[in-house]
Structure 1
Amino acid sequence: MSGPGAPAHRVRGSRPPHGDPVVDRALSLLAAFDTRHRYLTLAELSRRSGIPASSALRLAQRLMAWGALERGDDGRFSIGLRLWEVASLAPRGQGLRQVAMPYMGDLAEVTRQHVLLAVREGDEAVLVDRLSAHQAMPVLYHVGGRLPLHSTGVGLVLLAFAEPGFQEEILARPLVHEPERTAVSPAELRRTLAEVRREGLATVRRRAPEPLVTVAAPVFAAGGRIAAALSVVVPEEHAEPRLLGPAVRTAARSISRGLGAH
């Protein structure tokens, strides 16, 4: 049978044209977990991944054998430590964190709040590290979490120093501020990005879930390319952007020098 509606037949010993479906299903299984779903039953794993329970169980057992998944006494699955070990080898995370940690520690000591370090991954920012004091205000950000580029301090920095074509792609989209759910004006965002490039700082004020101020600065690598964004997050009543800005900028420049930037 041939034609556009005919099923594809796999030739023994060859790979299917669009990747190995077993690998795709295994990745779907891992993607079923997130910060609100750290432990999943087999039924939940099947439903969230879209994989039948029998197949999900076989894949989960393979992943458990390798260490990517673990299963507790209650029968629920969770991400395994082997996956964390592999992820920690990512150069953009590990090397960057080693250079940045002393300077992040200095900022955390001064602010007694949150210090964030993020990199761009696709069209989002990914938080690779966070230092938080015991008395720090509650925030929505967690290590490994993704943040929008257009409405967070680290996101605006990463977007402002990204290649122009990528910026235009983001500006052409219908954007909404989170968690306020208010529309973003492309013209206003364009002005904000120009100001971030000019000042070397992004300042964001947010009213929800609690009033806060974020001040962020770019971290550059060798060759002048943007490598990351560094920020502090403080309660609005304690915010002094004129004082925080120079401290964050100085720390970011020190990290940049450690990464080989001039």
Structure 2
Amino acid sequence: MPRKAAQLSEADKHAAPGGAAAVDRALFVLSAFRLGDTTLGLAELAQRSGLYKSTLLRLLASLEHARLVVRHGDGRYGLGPEVARLHAVYAASFSLEAVVMPVLRQLVQDTRESAAFHVDQGEHRLCLYRVDSPQPVRDHIRAGDLLPRNRGAGGRVLRAFSGARGELYQKIRDEGVVELVGDRSPDIAGVSSPVFGPGGELKGALTLTCPTPRFDASFRASVLRAARVLSAELGGVFPYPD
């Protein structure tokens, strides 16, 4: 009889409820490859997945057949050409708006304040997407507006992660969030966090704005959570705690 594992492997811990165990394990093996990895040996894959080498070899045979991994002459494994083909299909169909807007809507629903996604635009920042607060008194910036890059929470975040020097910008890089009251306009407060894509690439700044009297310290945690979710949706890692 096949022996039972004394404890669940990492692959089994991340299995989909009601899913196919072999598929879950195979996909987890693919996820063991990290940025910077070119090839991995069987021992490394076993350590990262928590799977027996005998199980891994069977999974790798199926993944190799599907061209999702390739086995090199030295016996080590790398990602295969089918991964590149799937990435090209995904990239061609990818809509940034379809990913960003649901996160902004959820942030507005949680806080009842306005949320926006800003990107660098030369000496300015562009409000690329925006969801308004349901409250009549609010910041009335619209999607498509150009704003200062050296004022306001979103602008400060973009500058910080573009290498700007100074105590404020270092603090933003250390904490992954900034809260500013009256920086762009005396009547407006803002909280902003960076959003990252693959390889730590800065994709933009996720920003919550509100009239100064409605500013709440809890907005900080809400923005951090939203930036973490959006970074994950864009294939990045958000390296800051909630």
TM-score normalised according to structure 1 size: 0.51
User: Aligned partners of 1:106 and 1:140: how far apart in 2?
Assistant: 19
Q: Aligned pair 1:205/2:181, yes or no?
A: yes
User: Aligned partners of 1:239 and 1:155: how far apart in 2?
Assistant: 18
What SS is found at the alignment partner of 1:156?
Answer: helix
Q: Aligned pair 1:223/2:199, yes or no?
A: yes
Per-residue Cα deviation, 1:233-257 (whole angstroms, up to 9, x for no partner):
112222112x111110111111111
User: Aligned partners of 1:147 and 1:160: how far apart in 2?
Assistant: 16
Query: Does structure 1 conserve the Cα–Cα contact (< 8 Å) formed by 2:154 and 2:205?
Result: yes
User: Aligned partners of 1:147 and 1:218: how far apart in 2?
Assistant: 17
Per-residue Cα deviation, 1:29-65 (whole angstroms, up to 9, x for no partner):
xxxxxxxxxxxxxxxxxxxxxxxxxxxxxxxxxxxxx
Per-residue Cα deviation, 1:122-153 (whole angstroms, up to 9, x for no partner):
12110011111332424252211111111111
Q: Please state how far the C-alpha of 1:96 moved relative to its aligned partner.
A: 2.5
Aligned ranges for residues 83-102 of structure 1 at < 5 Å?
95-102=95-102
User: Aligned partners of 1:208 and 1:139: how far apart in 2?
Assistant: 11
What SS is found at the alignment partner of 2:135?
Answer: coil
User: Aligned partners of 2:225 and 2:179: how far apart in 1?
Assistant: 16
What SS is found at the alignment partner of 1:135?
Answer: coil
User: Aligned partners of 1:136 and 1:196: how far apart in 2?
Assistant: 31
Percent of aligned pairs with the same amino acid: 26
Per-residue Cα deviation, 1:178-197 (whole angstroms, up to 9, x for no partner):
xxxxxxxxxxxx11111111
Task: Quote the residue 2:126 is aligned against.
Answer: 126
Structure 1 residues 240 and 223, CA, compared in 2 at 3 Å: closer, same or farther?
same
Count of matched residue pairs = 145
Aligned ranges for residues 58-69 of structure 1 at < 5 Å?
none
Task: Quote the residue 2:51 is aligned against.
Answer: none
User: Aligned partners of 1:224 and 1:207: how far apart in 2?
Assistant: 27
Query: Which amino acid in the other structure matches residue 117 of structure 2?
Result: L
User: Aligned partners of 2:117 and 2:189: how far apart in 1?
Assistant: 16
Residue number among 141, 161, 168 corresponding to 1:192 in the alignment: 168
Task: Quote the residue 1:105 is aligned against.
Answer: 105
Task: Quote the residue 1:147 is aligned against.
Answer: 147
Query: Does structure 2 conserve the Cα–Cα contact (< 8 Å) formed by 1:111 and 1:234?
Result: no
Structure 1 residues 101 and 215, CA, compared in 2 at 3 Å: closer, same or farther?
same
Query: Does structure 2 conserve the Cα–Cα contact (< 8 Å) formed by 1:114 and 1:136?
Result: no
Per-residue Cα deviation, 1:62-102 (whole angstroms, up to 9, x for no partner):
xxxxxxxxxxxxxxxxxxxxxxxxxxxxx9xx833211222
Task: Quote the residue 2:24 is aligned against.
Answer: none
What SS is found at the alignment partner of 2:95?
Answer: helix
TM-score normalised according to structure 2 size: 0.55
Q: Which runs of 5+ in 1 are unaligned?
A: 1-90, 169-189
User: Aligned partners of 2:153 and 2:97: how far apart in 1?
Assistant: 19
Task: Quote the residue 2:73 is aligned against.
Answer: none
Residue number among 198, 202, 209 corresponding to 1:233 in the alignment: 209
Query: Which amino acid in the other structure matches residue 180 of structure 2?
Result: V
Query: Which amino acid in the other structure matches residue 147 of structure 1?
Result: L
User: Aligned partners of 1:100 and 1:143: how far apart in 2?
Assistant: 13
Task: Quote the residue 1:258 is aligned against.
Answer: 233
CA RMSD of aligned residues (A): 2.1
Q: Aligned pair 1:116/2:116, yes or no?
A: yes
